[in-house]
A and B are shown apart, each in its own frame.
Chain A
Amino acid sequence: MPYITQLIQKGTTHSFIAKATAPTVTMPRIKALMTGTIPGFIDIVMNLNSHELQEDNLLWQAKQSRKRIFFYGDDTWIKLFPKHFVEYDGTTSFFVSDFTEVDNNVTRHLDYVLKRNDWDMLVLHYLGLDHIGHLTGPHSHLIGPKLYEMDIVLKKIHSALLLKDEDSAPNLIVVCGDHGMSEVGSHGGSSDEEVQTPLVLISSAFQNKAGPFTVPEMIQQTDLAPTLALGLGLPISRSSLGKFITAVVEQKTMREQLRFFHLNGHQLCMLLKENLETYEKDDGLEQFKKAEKQHGNWIKLYLEGNTSEVLTNLGRKVLKQYLEALIKLSSSLSKQVAEYDIYSMTVGAIITLEIFFLLLLSVPNALSNKAEFDLPLATPLFSLFFYLTCLLLAAVHVIVCTSTENACFFCSMSWLLAMGIMVLISALLCIILSLLGKMVLQLKPSNEVTHSSMQTWSELDILLLVGTLGHVISMGASSFIEEEHQTWYFLVSTLCLALSQEMCRKYFLIKKGNLSGSAAFSEAEEEYAYVNEIYDAHKKELQEEKLPILSRFIKSNEKWIALSSPGLILICCRLLRPLNQTGVQWIHRPDFGHWLTSSEHKAELSFLVAVCLIMIFILIQGKCSLVSKVALMFGLLGIYCYRAAIGHVLYPWQQNTNEITKGITEARFVYIFVLGILVTGIKDLLTSHFLNTNSKAKAVGLWEIYSGLILLAALLFRPHNLVVLVFCLIIQLILTTFIWKILKFDAAEIAIMHYWFGQAFFFFQGNSNTISTVDISAGFVGLDNYVEYPAIFLTIFVTYSGPLLWTMHMLYYLSAETNWNSTAVAHGCYCYAIIRSLPVTVYILLVTALRYHLFIWSVFSPKLLYEVIHHVISAIVCALFIAVDKNQLTKSEG
């Protein structure tokens, strides 16, 4: 950007690095710039759906003093400030793949506007750079030209304003960014690259201080609002936390400078008074009072006409005191503003805790052979205790809601709903108590039984338990949350090693059994027979598919294949690791995914995508019906065409196609097949339910639903992530054919293993616990422009596809492939529910306890958001489980 560099060197500018706070997404950042406040985290959810800003802000103040404001650019501004602009033209920011049109839309107004004289403020929000970042990352070849284009725009504005300056007060150009860009080109998190934004103030009013380039001063993004307000002669907006930038007023007279400080300090003191009960004891306030008194002395001296050195020295002293006071006030305010709605938080935490305990207490019942999960509803509901707790909670509710002045979400709900929640809490409490009572009564005689059952746990069970608990405990530390993927990779590797150990034991103990005693011998023989049986069955299956060579190979080398299978899984996991660097600390390391997506390696990427699609077809098709096989083939072909159309990959037959379309037709083509496969799957499920046919149809139906989801994921994933999908299928194949069948795990263990692998795949596909890794571009596949619900659905699907695919696979495996008992699905579902609710419950409690933690907004809240959405998804999947299970139960009864 030659022009602006030249300006900065020439010296009529001030440049700073403005530090934004997390979440670094557009809407909260605009709020911060205009109001000087730090918006809460919930704004990230509202980011896609902004409403009018109600708080006092700079634009409102400007409008009140009859300034005329023009706006061109991102339409988030228009949603936030719908009535503030005299003239405006918004461009929608949601279609990320367009980066020329959005900026031309802004620039085309410039020539006309700059000639006119009827505006006081002009706000321009260019979107192109952000879009390029989202699409291709910060090292894209598109960045340079875009920055140059911006430079030309700036030159145009600056020269036009210089002409105007001659006959009016000097103008000010503020060049700033709302947020930065991470190494992968997105934003939302709190890494340095995302948080630090440039801020350049250009005005002919500034002193010319040409000189060598110095490192810009670090300021807060919120500091801009009071600075602009003071510069424009407007009142500082009420809830602003910023302290104005002192460098800007350096060459003003001492009196004016002190006046500015006083105004800013006074506003901060008023704000502090509103927010802090013990505001009188605050350090900053005291210092401000002192400085105010000194200021009075200074004014007295000044008015007496004293111009000696004493005056300037005193002035400097006052200035320094004011500055210190401002810094202290500002920092103590930004600590204070985090207000928590403790009452609502407690209610939520109590409900989750109660439900978790309920699940925990019914473990013995639910995991027994009957797999029943019935709650003693009737007795607790009619007990006196229930009504008493209801009354007590209602009383507490009334007292709390009438006593607090702060806004409280729970109090603002309609009283009927609140009452319902009260009843729910007390009912849950009573149920838990009655269950506990029953347990205590039953436990007394059977104390020794539980002790001996602990002994029968294998190392694998202990590992699963310890790993899950350890992960839950590790969530109390922010660095463990940032690097959660490492925990999961580590646990999954350990799981593989434990599996291989079990495998070794199985095979080598059989050998030993042959050598030694009689009891062990017969047992080993039995197991051997069982293994053989499985392989015979397997062989038969394979022979049906006319693959005799392969089956003979498997049959003859079964032992070694089985022994090496955990190692194979380990190798798969290790290969997936460098595909997407994730987390916080090492996200900048070069990874394989970036290498593939960079524009020089298009040919390699095309080859990889083609191979992956073929692999997916080979791995899925075996268990599908003919119709869905054909649909699958066309769907995968369509995916390749889609990728070629949007320019990710090349067609082998036409090498240089430069036209890039949005690929809408191709994507919709694939959607049709996805829907088709899903519908056939559901149809198969329903027929197997109503017509009571054999379980084969059901298995096919479930597998078809699963493959439909895989097809959808293959369409939406970033192109290099297809590898993740292929490895996911391969690992599932290995686990089902070689490990789970041979080692005879029960449903609970299988459910936990599925959960672990699902979590690991969540991170393998490039996700992390910061918002910036969410791939929003998936929400626009096959859509002309932003449509809210499909976009949200697609984004969520693609983000959670790892865990979702694994749970779907668990559903299929437990209900179709296993033939030991009918309660497998129920057990699996129950285990899944409890293993999901454990981290969520603990995490909610942890976050409540750590709510004044330094990283609460940057680390803990995004994780909470992820957990909540994951929880909703698991609830939906559990509902599906129950539906399938009901299906099975009615069939077995009928």
Chain B
Amino acid sequence: MDETEIRRLAVGHVLSILAVVFSLFVPPLLLDEFSILGTHLTWLCFCSVCVIAVNILLLVTFKPNPSTKRSSLSSKVNKLYRSCLYFFASCLLFHGIIVLYGAPLVESVGETFLFAVLLSSFTTSRSLCFLGPNFHAWVRVFSKDGAMSVWDHSLQITTICTVVGAWLGAFPIPLDWDRPWQVWPISCSLGASFGYIASLLLAPFWIYWNRKRLTYKRR
């Protein structure tokens, strides 16, 4: 596998991590009384916006899946429109799944939805930027052995880790420890963020480690 590609991927990942870190340290400078636990919803919004912005930046600078044919402006607008639609749909889908998992239906609807937005910005926005609003490409990437490039692999890894992190984050909620981070959805969003960051850190190494096997699989 191309080592320069891996290096580019690593740089991109570092940028993505910086987005999350940025969302942690910049808001206290702008807002009074900001803390992750206290004003969690603000952080959720801020973090999602940062992550989406960095993803768009990556799309513009790195061009992970360069399209072969040149596209007109109208098709670009169409793509943008469809991307927004997809993003919104994925937010709703995540929201539905979270409610089915046992989140309260009526009370704290805002928290649930913002958590869904965070999850979508970690997973869907990345996929949208890397693959575009192309359903077949998504099915290809997320089915077994469907990855065609390092970017696809990193997408797989980050998505799985984010979802698993959020999943694991739900475990401490029902326990009677009375900690501030046990409040819905703090532990879940923290779990998702940790999963996201960990996967961003680990993915380049994993791909580098397995580069022989992966190139073999591609042929």
Contact B174 A574 (CB under 8 A): no
Also in contact, A512 and B140, with CB within 8 A (given A483-B175, A494-B167, A585-B174): yes
Among B100, B144, B175, the residue within 8 A (CB) of A479 is B175
Chain B residues lying within 8 Å of A508, measured Cβ to Cβ, are 139, 143
Does B6 interact with chain A (Cβ within 8 Å)?
Answer: no
Binds B, one of A302-310, A485-493, A742-750: A485-493
Q: How far is the CA of A583 from the CA of B167 in the complex (A)?
A: 21
Contact B99 A574 (CB under 8 A): yes
Chain B residues lying within 8 Å of A494, measured Cβ to Cβ, are 167
Contact B102 A577 (CB under 8 A): yes
Does A497 interact with chain B (Cβ within 8 Å)?
Answer: yes
Closest approach, in angstroms, between the C-beta of B138 and any C-beta of chain A? 10
Q: Which of B100, B173, B174 has the most CB of A within 10 A?
A: B174
Contact A493 B101 (CB under 8 A): yes
Chain A residues lying within 8 Å of B144, measured Cβ to Cβ, are 505
Contact B102 A479 (CB under 8 A): no
Within 8 A of B (CB), among A467-500: 477, 479-480, 482-483, 486-487, 489-490, 493-494, 497
A-B contact count (CB 8 A): 45
Contact A483 B143 (CB under 8 A): no
Q: How far is the CA of A574 from the CA of B104 in the complex (A)?
A: 10
- B142-168 toward A: CB 8 Å interface, digit per residue (1/0)? 011000000000000000000000010
Contact B102 A483 (CB under 8 A): no
Contact A574 B143 (CB under 8 A): no
Closest approach, in angstroms, between the C-beta of A858 and any C-beta of chain B? 13
Also in contact, A509 and B100, with CB within 8 A (given A482-B176, A486-B174): no
Closest approach, in angstroms, between the C-beta of B162 and any C-beta of chain A? 15
Within 8 A of A (CB), among B73-111: 97, 99-102
Chain A residues lying within 8 Å of B171, measured Cβ to Cβ, are 487, 490
- A285-310 toward B: CB 8 Å interface, digit per residue (1/0)? 00000000000000000000000000
Closest approach, in angstroms, between the C-beta of A494 and any C-beta of chain B? 7
Q: How far is the CA of A661 from the CA of B67 in the complex (A)?
A: 79
Contact A574 B102 (CB under 8 A): yes
Chain A residues lying within 8 Å of B97, measured Cβ to Cβ, are 497
Closest approach, in angstroms, between the C-beta of A652 and any C-beta of chain B? 32
Chain A residues lying within 8 Å of B99, measured Cβ to Cβ, are 574
Does B170 interact with chain A (Cβ within 8 Å)?
Answer: yes
Chain B residues lying within 8 Å of A584, measured Cβ to Cβ, are 176
Contact A509 B175 (CB under 8 A): no
Within 8 A of B (CB), among A532-587: 567, 570-571, 573-574, 577, 583-586
Closest approach, in angstroms, between the C-beta of A517 and any C-beta of chain B? 12
Chain B residues lying within 8 Å of A577, measured Cβ to Cβ, are 102
Contact A480 B101 (CB under 8 A): no
Main secondary structure of the interface of B (DSSP, over half): loop
How many residues in B have their beta carbons less than 8 Å from beta carbons of A? 17
Closest approach, in angstroms, between the C-beta of B57 and any C-beta of chain A? 31
Q: How far is the CA of A98 from the CA of B173 in the complex (A)?
A: 41
Chain B residues lying within 8 Å of A585, measured Cβ to Cβ, are 174, 176
> Chain A: which residue is nearest B99 at the CB level?
A574
Contact A505 B143 (CB under 8 A): yes
Does B209 interact with chain A (Cβ within 8 Å)?
Answer: no
Does B177 interact with chain A (Cβ within 8 Å)?
Answer: yes
Contact A512 B143 (CB under 8 A): yes
Also in contact, A493 and B100, with CB within 8 A (given A479-B177, A482-B176): yes
Also in contact, A570 and B174, with CB within 8 A (given A505-B144, A508-B143, A509-B143): no
Contact B101 A490 (CB under 8 A): yes
> Chain A: which residue is nearest B172 at the CB level?
A479
Q: How far is the CA of A542 from the CA of B174 in the complex (A)?
A: 45
Contact A583 B174 (CB under 8 A): yes
Q: How far is the CA of A482 from the CA of B102 in the complex (A)?
A: 17
- B13-44 toward A: CB 8 Å interface, digit per residue (1/0)? 00000000000000000000000000000000
Closest approach, in angstroms, between the C-beta of A29 and any C-beta of chain B? 25
Q: How far is the CA of A584 from the CA of B170 in the complex (A)?
A: 18
Q: How far is the CA of A78 from the CA of B122 in the complex (A)?
A: 68
Chain B residues lying within 8 Å of A482, measured Cβ to Cβ, are 176
Chain B residues lying within 8 Å of A483, measured Cβ to Cβ, are 174-176
Among B100, B102, B139, B176, the residue within 8 A (CB) of A512 is B139
- A510-536 toward B: CB 8 Å interface, digit per residue (1/0)? 001000000000000000000000000
Q: How far is the CA of A509 from the CA of B140 in the complex (A)?
A: 9
Chain B residues lying within 8 Å of A583, measured Cβ to Cβ, are 174
Q: Which of A477, A493, A577, A585 has the most CB of B within 10 A?
A: A493
Q: Which residues of A contact B (CB under 8 A)?
A: 477, 479-480, 482-483, 486-487, 489-490, 493-494, 497, 505, 508-509, 512, 567, 570-571, 573-574, 577, 583-586
Q: Which residues of B contact A (CB under 8 A)?
A: 97, 99-102, 139-140, 143-144, 167, 170-171, 173-177
Given A497-B97, A567-B100, output 12 extra A-B contacts at Cβ < 8 Å.
A479-B175, A479-B176, A479-B177, A482-B176, A483-B175, A489-B102, A490-B101, A508-B143, A512-B139, A512-B140, A574-B100, A574-B102
What are 6 A-B contacts with C-beta separation under 8 Å?
A477-B175, A479-B177, A570-B100, A573-B100, A583-B174, A586-B174
